[in-house]
Amino acid sequence: MAILRVALPIPKRRLFDYLYEGIKPEVGVRVRVPFGPRKLIGIVWAVTPDSEWDTTKLKAIEAVLDDEPVLNKTLLKLCHWLTHYYKHPVGDVVQTALPVALRKGESSLPKPVTFLTASESGARLELAELSRAPKQQKLLEKLQASELTKTIANTEFGAPVIKALLDKDLIVKVEKAPKFETNWQQQLTVVDKPTPNVEQAIAISCIEGALGQYSSFLLEGITGSGKTEVYLQAIEPVLEQGKQVLILVPEIGLTPQTVHRFKYRFGIEVGVLHSGLTNLERLQVWQQSSKGQLGIVIGTRSAIFTPMLNPGLLIVDEEHDASYKQQDGLRYHARDLAVVRAHAENIPLVLGTATPALETLNNALTGKYQHLILKQRAGNASVASQHVFDIRQQQIQFGLAQGMLDRIKQHLQQGSQVMLFINRRGYAPALTCHQCGHIEQCKRCDKPYTLHKQLNKLQCHHCGSAKPIPRHCQNCHSEDLTAIGVGTEQLEHGLAEYFPEYSSIRIDSDSARGKNKLDKMLDSINNNEHQILIGTQILSKGHHFPNVTLVLILDIDGALFSADYRAAEHLAQLITQVAGRAGRAEKPGEMWLQTHDPAHPLLQDLINNGYGHFARYALLEREHAALPPFTFQALFKAQAMSAQLAHEFLAQVRHFFDHVPNVFCIGPLPALMEKRQGQYRMQLVLQSTQRSHLQHALGQHIHQIEDLTLANKVRWSLDIDPQDFS
């Protein structure tokens, strides 16, 4: 009899022992077990001869769900590392690593696929006989030529057409195991490969020289310098050896254009993983990749858990992007996990960006990563010139100074597109009473409501609650309510009135909601259907707008004076990324920043010397201030209906660390956002100059913290290497 130590989806930092008779299942397979009145699906984490519990009281496993482990050796290693490094409940780590379908108990073996094919009578039928049902005619014509999967037929023709043909017995359904012999290596071709410039050639040969062993590269190249081209040419020899490549991209960066570029170059199917897929679609990519049937897999954060049979290369594009850090549950950083994975699989890792995160840059400057630099734009495109625009004492209309409006006009008249960036959606960030100064606030978050004129609502951007726009001030009953500040909606409205002869388009999470909507909007921009583009963050992520020659960035002053020490870094990344959207395709571009503080040293450094210079200087500042990456942090957060309760819990947590040498505690303090959804939020930061000291102290006390009585009364979390202090 064996004892299985099982990781269960329970928010406890421990494993659960079960009995098992028969052939020992392998570590990494799923089992179904009784847990109280429930049945849970867990993963066999270890097989041991004995238990620390009374073995006579242990329950038996109910079923083993897999013949082969769903977590292969690499993924198990990653899960071990995640559990240990993030001090996170093992069961939840395993859950995060598995596709949802497998968590729910779906078979890990490929499902048969339903095909449609012409029946005997359907094959013989003269198509003209269906001339009164043209859609049926068209589908039958296709099926007479070859079979189609039901899914494809469904999207192309719709279910009623299929049903009609099935009812007439002209077509039949056939279940088939999915083809597993798809041999992408035989389809592999290389199309339209440009000759790399010198910088690219160096980068490509460095990466190529490292294939077959671990090493990490920072590919630091300005936007448009041909980083993607470097990836493509570095991938080529990997695919030729029959090995697989995993590419991570930021959430908003995963567009059909990105995928198409890889597909087109190599002529092979590319596995795509993003949040829009169904659970079964995700599972399918997971299965194919784990069987080595995909040469390239591209995906967002959680794609880092995609198993590969023959791993060859890992790429993290836009490695500085915030979406790589998960902000709830297991708060892992996919870029850091990529380093661990590259080690585990003994393959190279390429981190590419125009604006490296300070952590990554530091690793490159200290020689931990090899540093590859692209300074030139590929082809003949020029770099956008960058300027600050002083708006002190200027008259402002819908957020824009007259000087800016004149400049917009000039570019529009030249037949170019203009892009305006403001990181605030809605019409205005607050509604105030002109008589008494009262501001409408969300009572659950103590923050002003955002005015959304189009929706005719006030909406809280922190908790999502909304209410109709009031007619009177709640304080003094005056009807004199005015919007303060500017959001995308107001900017769009104002520009449309000011430039009626040009078409404008607004791209933010309100307008780009819905399937493929963003892609359609991007297409319409590239087809020159709109001349004025207004947007939030979404516009800063990797989209190329060749006809944009003017970029305006509004309302950044808040970030210059933020309490968050990362705000300057993020602002500099954003400005540089947004500026990089202009001046492509050999049209010289310019970027303007509107500010009340034109002499701010950060802006001046960034504008005059570029991100690379700014970032190196910012690293020095971090070093002097003893902040990451020169120190290491862990963040305990707690929230509760009462601020006192949250405070008390964190005070108890602090107690464990107060006397630990080389670990400093800051807090408990209110979070930057003190209240949200009616919950009071507090935090405690632990900091050390040695990662190992912090790790050791956390490892020693995390179980005691978990066992505190208050731990069940507040909502709390631990965030290692925190990015977000809001």
Binding to ligand ADP by residue 341, rule CB under 6 A?
no
Per CB under 6 A, 225 contacts ligand ADP: yes
Give the span between the Cα atoms of 17 and 400, in whole angstroms.
Answer: 65
Question: Where does this chain touch ligand ADP (CB under 6 A) — which range of 210-218, 219-227, 273-281, 612-620?
Answer: 219-227
Which one among 108, 200, 362, 459 touches ligand ADP, defined by CB under 6 A? 200
520 contacts: CB under 8 Å, gap ≥ 6: none
**Cα–Cα distance list, 167 to 126, 145, 164, 356 (Å):** 18, 20, 5, 59
Segment interacting with ligand ADP (CB under 6 A) among 194-202, 284-292, 433-441, 629-637: 194-202
* Pick from 481, 641, 516: nearest CA to 254: 516
Among 221, 429, 667, 668, binds ligand ADP (CB under 6 A): 221
Q: Does 478 bind Zn ion (CB under 5 A)?
A: yes
Which is nearer to Zn ion, 482 or 700 (by Cβ)? 482
Q: Which does 378 bind (CB under 5 to 8 A by kind): ligand ADP, Zn ion, none?
A: ligand ADP
Is 229 or 508 the residue whose CB approaches ligand ADP more closely? Answer: 229
Only segment of 11-19, 141-149, 251-259, 430-438 that touches Zn ion (CB under 5 A): 430-438
Q: How many residues bind ligand ADP (CB under 6 A)?
A: 15
Q: Are 615 and 356 contacting, i.e. CB atoms less than 8 angstroms apart? A: yes
List of residues 6+ apart from 524 with CB closer than 8 A = 505, 530
Look at residue 478 and give the partner it binds from ligand ADP, Zn ion, none, a contact being a CB closer than 5 to 8 Å depending on partner kind.
Zn ion
Interface residue with ligand ADP among 99, 122, 196, 429 (CB under 6 A) is 196
Q: Which range, of 49-57, 239-247, 284-292, 468-476, touches Zn ion by CB under 5 A?
A: 468-476
Convert residues 363-382 into a mask of x (bound to ligand ADP by CB under 6 A) and - (unbound): ---------------xx---
DSSP reduced 3-state for 485: coil
407 vs 541, beta carbon nearer ligand ADP: 541
- Pick the binder of ligand ADP from 28, 42, 99, 224 (CB under 6 A): 224
Q: Is 229 in the site for ligand ADP (CB under 6 A)?
A: yes
Based on its alpha-carbon atoms, the radius of gyration of the chain, rounded to whole angstroms, reads 28
Residue 228 binding result from ligand ADP, Zn ion, none, given CB thresholds of 5 to 8 Å by partner type = ligand ADP
**576 neighbors 355 (Cβ within 8 angstroms):** yes
Q: Which does 224 bind (CB under 5 to 8 A by kind): ligand ADP, Zn ion, none?
A: ligand ADP
Residue closer to Zn ion, measured from CB, 649 or 680: 680
Closest CA to 180 of 292, 272, 59: 292
* Binder of Zn ion out of 58, 277, 405, 463 (CB under 5 A): 463
Beta carbons of 70 and 29 less than 8 angstroms apart = yes
Token pair in block for residue 368: 């931990």
Residue 227, contacted partner among ligand ADP, Zn ion, none, CB below 5-8 A by kind: ligand ADP
Mark the segment that binds ligand ADP (CB under 6 A) among 30-38, 158-166, 223-231, 263-271.
223-231
- Assess 462 for contact with Zn ion (CB under 5 A): yes
Cα pseudo-dihedral 66, 71, 76, 82, rounded to 10: -120
List strands edge to edge, sheet with 296-299.
270-273, 296-299, 244-248, 311-317, 348-353, 215-221, 370-374
Nearer to Zn ion, 474 or 609 (CB): 474
Helix (H, G, I), strand (E, B) or coil at 325: strand
Q: How many helices (H) and strands (E) does the chain have?
A: 22, 34
Element (H, E) at 548: strand 548-553
All residues at 6 or more sequence positions from 678 whose CB lies less than 8 Å from its CB, including other chains:
443, 444, 445, 641
Measured from the CB of residue 641, what is the shortest distance to ligand ADP in angstroms? 48
Among Zn ion, ligand ADP, none, residue 462 binds (CB under 5-8 Å by kind)? Zn ion
From 47-55, 189-197, 203-211, 283-291, give the range in contact with ligand ADP by CB under 6 A.
189-197
Nearest one of 485, 438, 478 to 461, comparing CA atoms:
485
Q: At what angle do helices 134-145 and 159-167 cross, to 10 degrees?
A: 70
Answer yes or no whether residue 228 interacts with ligand ADP by CB under 6 A.
yes
> Whole-angstrom Cα distance, residue 105 to residue 66?
10
Cβ-based nearer residue to ligand ADP, 253 or 494? 253
Distance CA 562, CA 558 (A): 6
Cross-sheet strand order for the sheet of 632-640: 664-676, 679-688, 632-640, 715-720
In the complex with ligand ADP, the residue whose CB is nearer, 289 or 577, is 577
State the residues that interact with ligand ADP by CB under 6 A: 194-197, 200, 221, 223-229, 378-379
State the residues that interact with Zn ion by CB under 5 A: 433, 435-436, 438, 442, 444-445, 460, 462-463, 473, 475-476, 478
